[in-house]
Amino acid sequence: MIAGVVAAVFLGVLTWSFLEYVIHRWLGHDRRFRGNPFGKEHLRHHVEGDYFAPTWKKLIFAAVTTGILSVPAILLAGVYGAAWVAGFVAFYGVYEVLHRREHTHAGIGAYGRWARRHHFHHHFVDGRSNHGVTSPLWDLAFGTYQAPAVIPVPQRLCMAWLLDPETNDVRAEHAGRYVLRLAKAPA
């Protein structure tokens, strides 16, 4: 039974990971679907850089999603259905925390540094690639993965953790992976 519960939690994590990709790629970036509430919030996030939808909206989304998924999941699979929902909702929480920290803090460890580069390649190099925020799995599966090279960060969108306040340029420890793209002078 324990192995089944662990497997169900893992499937819930995998399901959120897939929806993270689908929502981001199609609801956030496909012009045909971008008029939805997520698409509007997501466009604002790309334009302003440090904008995130308010936490209360995310908590409502999590509560409603948990309510909608729980009843059929438990009716169909009992404790395994509950474990699947728990994995799904918990990994949604991980995604939200990780995404915000990518924008607000320097990477900790190899995964943290990788996740930021993967995500900022999406933001600043090619918005048609790297839609997975927590994993490249679905980008690899759907052919939208691009390995980041040096990432040019627009000056107006530069994250505080990346900028050296003394030099007003990229901090030395990030210099090989990021460059500051200065605003063009008016003609």
For the whole model, what pTM was predicted?
A: 0.90
Residues 13-37 have pLDDT tens digits of: 999 999 999 999 999 999 998 889 8
Sequence-separated contacts (24+) of 140-148 with Cβ below 8 Å: 142/21, 142/25, 144/25, 146/121, 148/117, 148/118, 148/120, 148/121, 148/177
- Per-residue pLDDT averaged across 58-63, rounded? 90
- Per-residue pLDDT averaged across 48-73, rounded? 90
In Å, what is the CA distance from 10 to each residue of 63, 70, 85, 106, 160? 20, 16, 10, 28, 35
DSSP 27: I
Domain spans, the chain: 2-149
